[in-house]
Amino acid sequence: MPKKILISGNEALAYGAIHAGCRFYAGYPITPQNELTAYMAKCMPEIGGIFIQAESELAAINMVFGAAATGARTMTSSSSPGMSLKQEGISYIAGAELPAVIVNVMRGGPGLGNIAPAQSDYFQATRSGGHGDYRCLVLAPSSVQEAYDFMQIAFGLADKYRNPVIILGDGMLGQMMEPIEVGSGKLKYSPPKDWALTGCKNRKPNVVKSFFLKEGALEEANLKLQKKYKIIQNKEERYEGDSLAGAETIIVAYGTMARIAKGVVHELRKKGKKIGLIRPITLWPFPRKVFQGITARKKRPVFLVIEMSYGQMLEDVKLSVEGRARVEFLGRSGGGIPTEEEIIKKIKSL
Amino acid sequence: MEKIFGHPKSLVDTKTHYCAGCGHGIAHRLVAEVVDELDIRERVIAVAPVGCAVVAYDYWDFDCSEAAHGRALAVATAIKRVRPQNIVFTYQGDGDLAAIGTNETIHAANRGENLTVVFINNAIYGMTGGQMAPTTLLGQKTATTPKGREASLQGFPLKISEMLAILPAVKYIERVSLHSPQEVLKAKKAIKQAFVNQIDNVGFSLVEILSPCPTYWGLSPRQALDWIRDVMLKEFPLGRIK
Amino acid sequence: MAKIIINKDRCKGCLLCVSFCPKGSIKVDNNFNRQGVKPVKFDDNPECLGCMMCAIICPDCCIEVWK
């Protein structure tokens, strides 16, 4: 019998991580994700895991680097300004090919911004905000249940590809309470980590590094990464499609914004409007194939991208549509969230 | 005849990239000798810095991790917490440990992480071409203090070891030097103590090693050693700090 | 009775061993090594004490001491 509990998004992220085998967490306080850190502080010691309140975001992400280097399932979490600070460390984790999960409960920016929910770190997450040619897998939960469930997926992907995985949520998702079903917490398959630092007993020494000074060595390492990214792009696209068959208008939204958009879609369909929704679940790799399929139709719909930002995912939609269909945009940020009324008004104006 | 001094097992038998007379080679060897003598090669995990010793993992024959500039003690903290059965040490220069990584240094020390820190103080940034380090002496000319370090502009040489010594969780700090064979032997003894402390779960232990950089001090290798003895020691006196 | 064996190819010619040898038994070799520097050589001085000063100060771990 699955257990049902009432829990906030932030706590569900922590709970999901622990159930996915996360045994090392380091974080630094920042609103609106503090419940996650507090949950880890309480639960990690109870299950023999490690919780460290780091002295900074830089320390936290580099602790994650160290824990990941030993092969442990590890994560950190933060919100937008803190994520900016973690970017160097994420670049190192990607370069050294370490598995790790990083949660960003997004808030308004730029700068100190505010603490209201936002989706304006999409570029940072999907283009990779640090230096160098690297990519992070990015998962965007849109309910508290998904906040819990996606942790299992995230740690699995991180281990499978030896790559950082970002969970991109927002302050609304983090703070919201919902009933969710939780699993047993039994660790699913985790691949052997013969590269991990455990001491060189009965084997040659292992080195974890992202530094390739010899001529041609870095290019070779980068090409290896690119090959991996290509496989991820081919195999790991995830999305939810709603009422796509025959749709003349298709809303594209993710995370919290997709919840609001879904309400609009269902209301308008009741009134006979041919409208559907694509909710990208992986933001990188962006689910291009579904767009390519739809734009191959004879009658092409209008895409309406809605974001809690001023048009970041919009670029990925345009890249996926490749000019074969009209792409419109509605977005607010800095504390504003597009309302159902605003969305309906926009649809009417198309 | 029998061999009474040779190449330590934990040191890879290869040429290093260091300049002639550079202290890093001696410090690397001392660490390797201590690891061999304590028979911990199969348990050791090193964390290399960014700086001249960035590829220390090419020279040590045991498990190593890199760390972003200044973050070695954050990386080491996590490794040791996850794997307390391993012996974890960082090897960091003055810029890494006492400028860009000061925060990580102070907080790892303040948490009393059971780690060993080998801190190379050569009063200069070698890797990037001889810029001012936090430990550069007053009057010392560097690429970024062409007229010599001035207290009114660049502050004083940072005595991070003395600063760390006031933290209650710090158990052992000693400053040693490589300016003569006798001092090298003392340095080795201190490094060994810092590793033994970790094995015995004593807590945070740091050895600051005054180390020559002939290239960016503009001196011959021997002059560089004498400069440590005659000049650097006045600012950074040797001995047990805690 | 002692002697030292020098790894000439790894020697960078810093000459620290020369300056610390109490017996003056280490000299500069006039032949360049593979690094393009003049390494040091042991002059087979039977007075070598095996004191290890040269090996201890060598930054490149080039010197073995036998006694």
Q: Where are the domains of chain A?
A: 3-235, 240-349
Nearest CA in chain C to B180: C57
Give the pairing type, strands B170-177 and B239-240.
antiparallel
Q: Which chains touch C (3 or more CB pairs under 8 A)?
A: B
B77 and A63 in contact by Cβ < 8 A?
yes
C57: CATH: 3.30.70.20
Domains of chain C: total: 1
Q: How far is A205 from chain B (nearest CA, A)?
A: 5
B147 close contact with C: CB closer than 8 A: no
Nearest by CB to residue B68, choosing from A67, A88, A202, is A88
**Contact list, A26 vs chain B (CB under 8 Å):** 78
Q: Which residues of B touch A59 (CB under 8 A)?
A: 71, 74, 103-104, 107
Contact criterion met (CB < 8 Å) for A92 and B63: no
Shortest distance, CA A65 to any CA of chain B (angstroms):
6
Going across the sheet that includes A302-307, the strands are A239-242, A275-280, A249-252, A302-307, A327-331
Quick check: A186 pLDDT over 80?
no
Contact predicate A166/A134, CB 8 Å = no
Q: Is C2 on the interface with B (CB under 8 A)?
A: yes
Residue of A109, A58, A77 lying closest to A9 (CA atoms): A77
Per-residue confidence (pLDDT) for residue A2, from 0 to 100: 76
Q: What percent of chain B has pLDDT over 70?
A: 100
Closest residue in A to B54 (Cα–Cα): A211
Residue A167 has pLDDT above 70, yes or no: yes
Residues in chain A with CB shorter than 8 Å from the CB of B82 are 23-24, 50, 66-67, 70, 72
User: Any chain A CB within 8 A of the CB of B47?
Assistant: yes
B105: amino acid identity, one letter: T
Cβ–Cβ contact C64 with B under 8 A: yes
Interface residue A92 vs chain B (CB under 8 A) = yes
The Cα of C46 is separated from the nearest Cα of chain B by a number of Å equal to 13
Length of chain B: 242
A24 → closest Cβ in B44, B82, B85: B82
Polymer length of chain A: 350
Instruction: Identify all chain A residues contacting B103, using CB atoms and an 8 Å cutoff.
Output: 55-56, 58-59
Domain A3-235 identical in fold to domain A240-349 = yes
What span, in angstroms and rounded, lies between the C-alpha atoms of A97 and B130? 32
Kindly indicate the confidence band of residue B182, based on its pLDDT and cuts at 50, 70 and 90. Answer: very high
Q: Going by DSSP bridges, is the β-strand pair A3-8/A177-182 parallel, antiparallel, or unpaired?
A: antiparallel
Average pLDDT, chain A: 96
Q: What is the pLDDT of residue A118?
A: 97
In B187-216, the residues whose Cβ lies within 8 Å of chain C are: 214
Architecture of domain A3-235: 3-Layer(aba) Sandwich (3.40)
Q: What is the ipTM of this complex?
A: 0.97
Question: Residue A1's pLDDT is what?
Answer: 64
In whole numbers, what is the pLDDT of chain B averaged over residues?
Answer: 98
Task: Give me the mean pLDDT over the C26-55 stretch.
Answer: 96
Full domain range(s) for residue C47 = 3-66
The conformation of residue B11, written as its DSSP 8-state character, comes to B
Domain parsing of chain B, residue ranges: 24-240
* Residue ranges of E strands in A112-172: 137-139, 164-170
Average pLDDT for A5-15: 98
Q: What is the mean pLDDT of residues B188-197?
A: 98
Compute the average pLDDT of residues A264-273.
96
DSSP H helices in A238-350: 255-270, 288-295, 313-321, 340-349
B106-147 pLDDT tens trace: 999 999 999 999 999 999 999 999 999 999 999 999 999 999
Count of CB pairs separated by less than 8 Å, A with B: 130
Are the C-beta atoms of residues A239 and A290 closer than 8 Å to each other?
A: yes
Is C50 at the interface with chain B, CB within 8 A?
A: yes
Element holding A124 (H helix, E strand): helix A122-126
Give which of A40, A56, A208, A210 to mutate to test B binding, by max B Cβ within 10 Å. Answer: A208
Residue B228 DSSP label: I
Subunits in contact with chain A (3 or more CB pairs closer than 8 Å): B
What are the phi and psi torsion angles at A227 (to 5°)? -65, -40
Tell me, what's the pLDDT at A58?
Answer: 98
CB A171 within 8 A of CB A115: yes
Contacts of B5 in chain C (CB under 8 A): 52, 55-56, 63-65
CATH class for domain A240-349?
Answer: alpha beta
What's the CATH code, domain B24-240? Answer: 3.40.50.970
Token duo for residue B87: 């012996």
